[in-house]
Amino acid sequence: MKHQMNAYRLAAVATLALGASLLSALADPAANGTISPIQAKVDPLGLPIVGPVMLAGSDAAAAQFDQTTLSQALGFIQQNLPDRHNNTGDKKVFSIDPDKLTLAETVNLRAYFVSQSTSCDSTLGFNTKGVGVKSGNPELMFPSVSSPEDLNPNAADKYGPRTPAKPLLPGDFVNLGTFTKGTPLDFFMIVNGAVGGTTVFNSGGPTTNPDHVDHTGGFTASVFAVPQLNSPYLFINFKDAWNGGDKDYNDAVIAINVGTKTINSLLATPEPSMYLTLGGFLALGIWAKRRMDRTVPQA
């Protein structure tokens, strides 16, 4: 009987240990990537940090992003977002309005760092219930947007090692959580946030920014040299200077996997059936015009 009780106790302990192990695994953010060994040791404005920065390519989704999208994105940025150049005339760079960003499907959101081109050490965050940092539920994604890639967006993998002062490499990512269809998304930059800055610009449009200027652009992989028409990634490019500065809009670029349905809703591209319907109406209109021309007496 004593041996039987001991066996029950051992089984109970093993069950509890297994349960604790499973809970730990579920709670471990590294289950969706490998945590970078270098994390920014700052907490701008005292806002919560949504999760640790993960190493580029450290899970299947991140590896796919690196292999299929990142290199094209860097090439696009080099060509269409040159440094210290007014890029506002490039319609590709501003083909998406981030102010209109609402999820069209339930998505496991992930933010990828793509590139940086500024001397500022800024902070990027997001908000799903408000705009900026003074309402809703603002959280930090990248407390320090600083990288050895700075000013060299087409350097392939020749960035040099990450350091505490420059903790990010292209393709590094943060898991933001699962959000349902209809969730609005705002992304914000705290200019020089990693070194005490407090000026905040966001993607909610010019009226929501302190200088009443738009500080973000947006584009999708459909504008790349080799278009990716079913890509789920929305790219958001930031400008950190008051009144837009030199208006190069390349100070930080991130990619958010918002899902293909959301991308399609932002592009607002008619379905093929819509084109056929519009074509039918156009043909009918041409036919009616010609018929009228034949029946109207000539002067």
Taking only the tens place, the pLDDT of each residue in 61-102 is 999 999 999 999 999 998 999 999 999 999 999 999 999 899
Q: Is residue 108 over pLDDT 80?
A: yes
> Of how many residues is the chain composed?
299
Q: How much is the average pLDDT of 10-19?
A: 36
Per-residue confidence (pLDDT) for residue 153, from 0 to 100:
53
* pLDDT above 70 coverage of the chain, percent: 77
Quickly state the pLDDT bin for 7 (edges 50, 70, 90): very low
Q: What is the pLDDT of residue 158?
A: 67
The full 3-state SS of 18-29, as one line of letters, equals HHHHHHHHHHCH
The pLDDT of residue 156 is 52
DSSP code string of 55-82: PTT-SHHHHHHIIIIIHHHHHHHHHHS-
209 or 26, which is more confident: 209
pTM: 0.80
Phi-psi region of 196 (alpha: psi -120 to 50; beta: other; left: phi over 0): left
The pLDDT value recorded for residue 31 is: 60
Residue bearing the bigger pLDDT, 45 or 5: 45
- Give 145-159 pLDDT, tens digit per residue: 999 987 665 555 567
Report the pLDDT value the prediction gives residue 278, as an integer from 0 to 100.
Answer: 37
* Sequence-ordered list of residues with C-beta below 8 angstroms from that of 120, at least 6 positions apart, any chain: 191, 192, 197, 240, 251
Q: How many H helices and E strands in the chain?
A: 5, 9
The C-alpha atoms of residue 44 and residue 53 are separated, in whole angstroms, by 16
Q: Which of the four pLDDT bands, split at 50, 70 and 90, describes residue 296?
A: very low
Query: Which is it for the CA torsion 55, 56, 57, 59, positive or negative?
Result: positive
Q: What is the pLDDT of residue 151?
A: 64
> What is the C-alpha to C-alpha distance for residues 21 and 167, in angstroms, rounded to an integer?
30
Higher-confidence position of 116 and 276: 116
Alpha-carbon gap, residue 160 to 57, rounded angstroms: 17
Nearest to 251 by CA among 184, 182, 173, 191: 191
Residue 17 has pLDDT above 70, yes or no: no
The neighbouring-strand residues paired with 184 are: 102
- The tokens describing 291, both together, are 């018929």
Calculate the alpha carbon distances from 274 to 209, 228, 264, 277 in Å: 38, 22, 14, 5
What percent of the chain has pLDDT above 90? Answer: 72
Give me the residue spans of the domains in the chain.
Answer: 30-267
pLDDT of residue 10: 36
- SS3 state of residue 124: strand
Higher-confidence residue of 49 and 158: namely 49
pLDDT higher than threshold 50 for residue 299:
no
Helix (H) or strand (E) holding 177: strand 173-179
d(CA 47, CA 141) in angstroms, rounded, equals 10
Mean pLDDT, all residues of the chain: 83
What local confidence, expressed as pLDDT, does residue 69 receive?
96
